[in-house]
Amino acid sequence: MSTPRNETTRPIHGLLADRWSPRGFDSSFELDREQMRTLFEAARWSPSAFNYQPWAFISGRRGTETFQHILDGLLPFNQSWAERVSALVLTLAQVEREGEPVPTAHYDLGQAVAHLTFQAEALDIDVHQMTGFDVSKFEFEIPEGYEIVTAVALGRYVDSEEIPEKIRERDASPRARKPIEEIVLVRD
Protein backbone atom coordinates (compact mmCIF):
# COMPACT_ATOMS: atom_id res chain seq x y z
CA MET A 1 0.00 0.00 0.00
CA SER A 2 1.47 3.35 -0.96
CA THR A 3 1.58 6.26 1.43
CA PRO A 4 -1.22 8.81 1.22
CA ARG A 5 -0.54 11.98 -0.72
CA ASN A 6 -0.30 14.97 1.59
CA GLU A 7 -2.17 18.17 0.87
CA THR A 8 0.37 20.87 0.02
CA THR A 9 -0.32 24.57 -0.57
CA ARG A 10 1.87 24.59 -3.69
CA PRO A 11 2.70 21.79 -6.11
CA ILE A 12 5.88 19.98 -5.06
CA HIS A 13 7.50 16.80 -6.31
CA GLY A 14 5.60 13.65 -5.35
CA LEU A 15 8.60 12.21 -3.53
CA LEU A 16 8.39 15.17 -1.16
CA ALA A 17 4.60 15.36 -0.93
CA ASP A 18 4.14 11.62 -0.34
CA ARG A 19 6.86 11.22 2.29
CA TRP A 20 5.72 10.49 5.79
CA SER A 21 6.92 8.64 8.87
CA PRO A 22 4.68 5.66 9.60
CA ARG A 23 5.06 3.33 12.56
CA GLY A 24 2.97 0.46 11.22
CA PHE A 25 5.47 -1.71 9.36
CA ASP A 26 5.09 -4.98 7.48
CA SER A 27 7.16 -7.53 9.40
CA SER A 28 7.35 -9.78 6.32
CA PHE A 29 8.99 -7.13 4.13
CA GLU A 30 12.76 -7.51 3.80
CA LEU A 31 15.24 -5.04 2.41
CA ASP A 32 18.08 -6.79 0.65
CA ARG A 33 21.73 -5.77 0.71
CA GLU A 34 21.52 -4.16 -2.73
CA GLN A 35 18.63 -1.91 -1.66
CA MET A 36 20.57 -0.92 1.45
CA ARG A 37 23.64 -0.11 -0.64
CA THR A 38 21.48 2.03 -2.95
CA LEU A 39 20.17 4.02 0.02
CA PHE A 40 23.69 4.61 1.32
CA GLU A 41 24.87 5.54 -2.18
CA ALA A 42 22.23 8.30 -2.19
CA ALA A 43 23.49 9.50 1.21
CA ARG A 44 27.08 9.35 -0.05
CA TRP A 45 26.31 11.82 -2.84
CA SER A 46 24.83 14.43 -0.52
CA PRO A 47 26.53 17.84 -0.50
CA SER A 48 28.64 18.87 2.47
CA ALA A 49 30.74 21.84 3.52
CA PHE A 50 34.25 21.58 2.06
CA ASN A 51 33.20 18.10 0.86
CA TYR A 52 34.11 16.74 4.32
CA GLN A 53 31.21 14.27 4.25
CA PRO A 54 31.10 14.24 8.08
CA TRP A 55 28.71 11.34 8.46
CA ALA A 56 28.74 7.63 9.10
CA PHE A 57 26.11 4.95 9.55
CA ILE A 58 25.70 1.74 11.52
CA SER A 59 23.05 -0.45 9.93
CA GLY A 60 21.50 -3.78 10.68
CA ARG A 61 18.80 -5.72 8.91
CA ARG A 62 16.14 -7.54 10.95
CA GLY A 63 17.43 -10.84 12.25
CA THR A 64 21.02 -9.66 12.69
CA GLU A 65 22.93 -8.94 15.88
CA THR A 66 23.41 -5.31 14.81
CA PHE A 67 19.66 -4.83 14.35
CA GLN A 68 19.02 -6.27 17.82
CA HIS A 69 21.66 -4.03 19.43
CA ILE A 70 20.11 -0.94 17.85
CA LEU A 71 16.59 -2.07 18.82
CA ASP A 72 17.72 -2.66 22.42
CA GLY A 73 18.90 0.95 22.65
CA LEU A 74 15.57 2.44 21.56
CA LEU A 75 13.09 3.71 24.13
CA PRO A 76 10.27 1.23 24.91
CA PHE A 77 7.61 2.92 22.74
CA ASN A 78 9.93 2.93 19.72
CA GLN A 79 10.92 -0.69 20.41
CA SER A 80 7.22 -1.65 20.33
CA TRP A 81 6.84 -0.77 16.66
CA ALA A 82 10.45 -0.81 15.39
CA GLU A 83 10.82 -4.54 15.99
CA ARG A 84 8.74 -5.00 12.81
CA VAL A 85 10.91 -2.88 10.49
CA SER A 86 13.24 -4.37 7.92
CA ALA A 87 16.34 -2.44 8.99
CA LEU A 88 17.55 -0.02 11.64
CA VAL A 89 20.29 2.55 11.09
CA LEU A 90 22.16 4.78 13.50
CA THR A 91 23.36 8.07 12.03
CA LEU A 92 26.62 9.57 13.23
CA ALA A 93 28.02 13.07 12.78
CA GLN A 94 31.75 13.71 12.72
CA VAL A 95 31.74 16.69 15.06
CA GLU A 96 35.53 16.88 15.32
CA ARG A 97 38.14 16.44 12.58
CA GLU A 98 41.87 16.51 13.24
CA GLY A 99 41.26 18.13 16.62
CA GLU A 100 39.06 20.90 15.21
CA PRO A 101 35.25 21.19 15.47
CA VAL A 102 33.21 20.56 12.34
CA PRO A 103 30.51 23.25 12.71
CA THR A 104 28.32 21.95 9.88
CA ALA A 105 28.47 18.27 10.88
CA HIS A 106 24.85 17.99 12.01
CA TYR A 107 23.56 20.00 9.05
CA ASP A 108 25.56 17.90 6.59
CA LEU A 109 24.44 14.65 8.24
CA GLY A 110 20.84 15.87 7.96
CA GLN A 111 21.30 16.38 4.23
CA ALA A 112 22.76 12.90 3.84
CA VAL A 113 19.80 11.38 5.70
CA ALA A 114 17.40 13.44 3.57
CA HIS A 115 19.03 12.05 0.43
CA LEU A 116 18.68 8.53 1.84
CA THR A 117 15.05 9.26 2.73
CA PHE A 118 14.04 10.43 -0.73
CA GLN A 119 15.89 7.57 -2.41
CA ALA A 120 13.92 5.26 -0.12
CA GLU A 121 10.66 6.98 -1.14
CA ALA A 122 11.59 6.43 -4.80
CA LEU A 123 12.04 2.71 -4.03
CA ASP A 124 8.70 2.51 -2.13
CA ILE A 125 10.54 2.09 1.18
CA ASP A 126 9.19 3.96 4.18
CA VAL A 127 11.48 5.77 6.61
CA HIS A 128 10.88 6.82 10.20
CA GLN A 129 13.57 8.92 11.87
CA MET A 130 13.75 9.13 15.66
CA THR A 131 15.71 10.41 18.60
CA GLY A 132 13.93 8.24 21.17
CA PHE A 133 16.89 6.15 22.30
CA ASP A 134 19.41 5.83 25.10
CA VAL A 135 22.85 6.25 23.53
CA SER A 136 24.50 4.57 26.54
CA LYS A 137 22.77 1.29 25.61
CA PHE A 138 24.31 1.07 22.13
CA GLU A 139 27.10 -1.49 22.14
CA PHE A 140 29.11 -0.13 19.24
CA GLU A 141 32.60 1.27 19.02
CA ILE A 142 32.09 4.81 17.75
CA PRO A 143 35.04 6.37 15.92
CA GLU A 144 36.79 9.23 17.69
CA GLY A 145 35.21 12.57 16.87
CA TYR A 146 31.82 11.07 15.97
CA GLU A 147 28.55 11.09 17.89
CA ILE A 148 25.26 9.26 17.37
CA VAL A 149 22.55 11.70 16.31
CA THR A 150 19.46 9.75 15.21
CA ALA A 151 18.10 6.30 14.55
CA VAL A 152 16.31 5.50 11.30
CA ALA A 153 13.78 2.72 10.71
CA LEU A 154 13.39 1.35 7.17
CA GLY A 155 10.65 -0.89 5.88
CA ARG A 156 7.27 -0.91 4.22
CA TYR A 157 4.11 0.50 5.72
CA VAL A 158 1.16 -1.81 6.22
CA ASP A 159 -2.32 -1.12 7.55
CA SER A 160 -3.04 -4.43 9.23
CA GLU A 161 -4.91 -5.74 12.25
CA GLU A 162 -1.51 -7.05 13.40
CA ILE A 163 -0.46 -3.45 14.08
CA PRO A 164 -1.59 -2.21 17.53
CA GLU A 165 -4.63 0.06 17.32
CA LYS A 166 -2.76 2.99 18.93
CA ILE A 167 -0.15 2.85 16.16
CA ARG A 168 -2.76 2.49 13.40
CA GLU A 169 -4.60 5.55 14.75
CA ARG A 170 -1.39 7.61 14.78
CA ASP A 171 -0.56 6.54 11.24
CA ALA A 172 -4.08 7.44 10.05
CA SER A 173 -4.19 10.87 11.69
CA PRO A 174 -3.95 13.90 9.39
CA ARG A 175 -0.54 15.44 8.93
CA ALA A 176 -0.01 19.11 9.51
CA ARG A 177 2.73 21.58 8.80
CA LYS A 178 3.27 25.17 9.88
CA PRO A 179 2.18 27.69 7.27
CA ILE A 180 4.89 29.19 5.07
CA GLU A 181 4.31 32.56 6.76
CA GLU A 182 5.55 31.08 10.07
CA ILE A 183 8.75 29.58 8.69
CA VAL A 184 9.89 32.23 6.22
CA LEU A 185 10.78 35.15 8.47
CA VAL A 186 11.71 37.69 5.80
CA ARG A 187 9.94 37.73 2.46
CA ASP A 188 10.79 40.11 -0.38
Does a structural domain hold residue 186?
Answer: no
Counting the structural domains of the chain, the total is 1
Does an H or E element contain 115, and which? helix 105-122
Residue 8 domain flag = no
181 found inside a domain: no
Q: Is residue 163 part of a domain?
A: no
Report if residue 70 sits inside a domain. Answer: yes
- b/e 43-72 (16+ beta carbons within 10 angstroms → b): beebebeeeebbbbbbbbbbeeebbebbbe
Q: What percent of the chain has pLDDT over 70?
A: 97
Look up the domain containing 78 and give its range: 21-158
- pLDDT, averaged across the chain: 94
Question: Tell me, what's the pLDDT at 186?
Answer: 87
Question: So what's the pLDDT on residue 18?
Answer: 87
From residue 145, give the alpha-carbon distance in Å to each of 33, 85, 91, 126.
Answer: 28, 30, 14, 30
Among candidate residues 18, 28, 126, the one with its CA nearest the CA of residue 84: 28
Q: Where does residue 53 fall: left (phi above 0), alpha (psi -120 to 50 degrees), or beta otherwise?
A: left
In the predicted model, is pLDDT for residue 3 greater than 50? no
Letter for the amino acid at 107? Y
User: Per the domain annotation, does 2 fall within a domain?
Assistant: no
Residue 105 maps to which CATH number? Answer: 3.40.109.10
96-97 and 87-94 as β-strands: parallel, antiparallel, unpaired?
Answer: unpaired
Q: How many CA atoms within 13 Å lie on the side-chain side of 58?
A: 23
What is the pLDDT, as a whole number, of residue 10? 87
Q: Taking Cα atoms as reference points, which of 148, 91, 114 lies closest to residue 21? A: 114
In this structure, of 26-30, 113-117, 161-165, the range with the lowest mean pLDDT score is 161-165
**Structure pTM?**
0.93
Does residue 12 lie within any of the structural domains? no
Q: Does residue 2 surpass a pLDDT of 80?
A: no
What integer pLDDT is reported at residue 5 of this predicted model?
Answer: 59
The mean per-residue pLDDT over the stretch 139-155 comes to: 97
d(CA 177, CA 12): 14
Q: What's the pLDDT score for residue 39?
A: 98
In Å, how far are 61, 142, 175 from 28, measured between CA atoms? 12, 31, 27
Residue 177 within a domain? no
